[in-house]
Amino acid sequence: MGNAAREGAGTQGDSEPVEATVTLPDEGQSIAEARHLAAAFLSRVRTDHLLDISRQTVELTQLVVSELVTNARKYAPGPILLRLRILAAMLEISVWDSAPNFPVAKTADPGRIGQHGLEIVMAIAQKVDVQREPVGKRVTAHLALDDSLAGRAIG
């Protein structure tokens, strides 16, 4: 991934997770770049670590990455930090931005145009966390690598 901070060598049973981190610039094309980088990361994990990652998992990952990065881009100034990490049978997608405000999922409203991003992420992910950081916040979504677990809540 472009500005990868590190990529661990281990996966499921190993002590060190496989991860990649990239800083996305404050530019409009960063959303498409983030989707592309997420797909490339999963392709590399599939090849290098022999994990069975389906096309559906790649597509859902790209959707979650797109929604989280779009929200960060829309509501926070400056660069965004995207981290992808494999932990056992889960993919952890974290997006950091500089805005301190926590995202709030709105009540479902089929008539509302826009502002469905967090609803979509919450429907796809097994778990979504928001953490306050010294500057800004980090939103993390956990996706199952196994299609049979997709959409089922954990923890």
Q: What is the pLDDT of residues 30-87, one digit of tens each?
A: 899 999 999 999 999 999 999 999 999 999 999 999 999 999 999 999 999 999 999 9
Bridge-based pairing of strands 90-97 and 127-132 is unpaired
Can you read off the two tokens belonging to residue 26? 């404050």
Give the type of residue at 9.
A
Full 3-state SS string of 71-116: HHHHHCCCCEEEEEEEECCEEEEEEEECCCCCCCCCCCCCCCCCCC
Q: How confident is the model at residue 8, as a pLDDT?
A: 45
Determine phi and psi for 104, rounding to 5 degrees: -130, 125
Q: Is position 14 within any domain? A: no
Q: How confident is the model at residue 106, as a pLDDT?
A: 78
Q: Is position 101 within any domain? A: yes
Q: Which residue has the tokens 């472009």?
A: 2
CATH of the domain at 81: 3.30.565.10
Lowest mean pLDDT among 5-14, 74-83, 100-109, 140-149: 5-14
Mean pLDDT of 129-155: 82
The number of domains in the chain is 1
Q: Is position 9 within any domain? A: no
Q: Which strand (E) or helix (H) includes residue 39? A: helix 30-49
Q: Is position 30 within any domain? A: yes
Q: Is position 111 within any domain? A: yes
* CA-wise closest residue to 126 among 42, 60, 37: 60
Q: Is position 120 within any domain? A: yes
Q: Is position 25 within any domain? A: yes
For 78-127, what is each residue's pLDDT tens digit? 999 999 999 988 999 999 999 999 988 777 778 877 777 888 999 999 99
Q: Which domain holds residue 133?
A: 20-149
Q: Is position 4 within any domain? A: no
Can you read off the two tokens belonging to residue 32? 């498409």
- pLDDT-derived band of residue 151, with 50, 70 and 90 as boundaries? low
